[in-house]
Structure 1
């Protein structure tokens, strides 16, 4: 470094702090990246997409931000995919297509109660319940060569959901 050239170490601390993003800024960025996705995405996908968007977030920041958004009830972790999606409504479980990664939300308020009753009969104290079922969605099952063209439609809306299933 040349004498007289600016140094980060010598920079005004207020200027360095001004460049830092607030938790609210990070929340908004992660929520926007999740909203732009047509499927659940991993924390590393979020980090990669933030770079493409010109607002880089390192994975550690992504995980902290996701934890905060989950606590606020805005984001849901799809456990078996190690991925995240916006929590657009209350739900009790999900169906995950192993071919296209589309997620359908299950809405059955009695589901957890029935599972709790079953566990109670075995003397098991449940701390957390995750209901995720894997298989093949209707669109992939009807195509010989599955692709992801139907993915956005399947994840975010379905005009004819089966009973007790709500498309996200």
Structure 2
């Protein structure tokens, strides 16, 4: 008696081909991973976290999905960190703590219009505007002043100490 041929879809689960996910599934997964994060995270962090939740996404899929989510206005790229965060409100720029990577959003349209006016006077055609200010948040600055440890201000931040704060 001859055995029926095995299909990759009916074989042992470790040999099964993954089910193809829709763009909507990928959008939902990446939005969920960003929502769970307490700071802006890189595309590679997103890929690693997707493995941790048992739904792996390779980096090129992450980048394509992030591009789609940015275009839809749901995600913001923090340029100087090469990281991404949920876009929960409209803002004109952000302040980034170099110690803990806390991001505070700025809503001040006058900043953008002032930059546009300056560019226009100089005959410069703006293609894209990114306003990101680097320094230390209130807590990190207070800690630096209290300890006098300016070397600590240069230390790399830990993942757990960086909440996203909206202004």
Tell me if TM exceeds 0.5.
yes
For the Cα contact (< 8 Å) 1:69–1:75, is it kept in 2?
Answer: yes
Between 1:134-143 and 1:56-65, the stretch displaced more is: 134-143
1:59 equivalent in structure 2: 59
Unaligned 5+ runs, structure 2? none
Unaligned 5+ runs, structure 1? 158-165
For the Cα contact (< 8 Å) 2:105–2:165, is it kept in 1?
Answer: no
1:84-128 CA distance string (max 9 Å, x none): 000000000000000101100000012211100000111000000
Off by >2 Å, runs of 4+ in structure 1:
3-9, 144-152
2:90 equivalent in structure 1: 90
2:43 equivalent in structure 1: 43
Aligned length: 150
- 5 Å-filtered alignment, 1:1-168, equals 6-8=6-8, 19-143=19-143, 144=147, 150-152=161-163, 155-156=164-165, 166=167
Aligned-residue Cα RMSD (Å) equals: 2.5
1:3-58 CA distance string (max 9 Å, x none): 8552549x9xxxx9981111000000000000000000000000000000100000
Instruction: Evaluate the alpha carbon distance shift between residue 104 and residue 76 of structure 1 in structure 2; reply closer, same or farther with a 3 A threshold.
Output: same
**TM-score, normalisation: structure 1:** 0.81
**TM-score, normalisation: structure 2:** 0.81
For the Cα contact (< 8 Å) 2:47–2:57, is it kept in 1?
Answer: yes
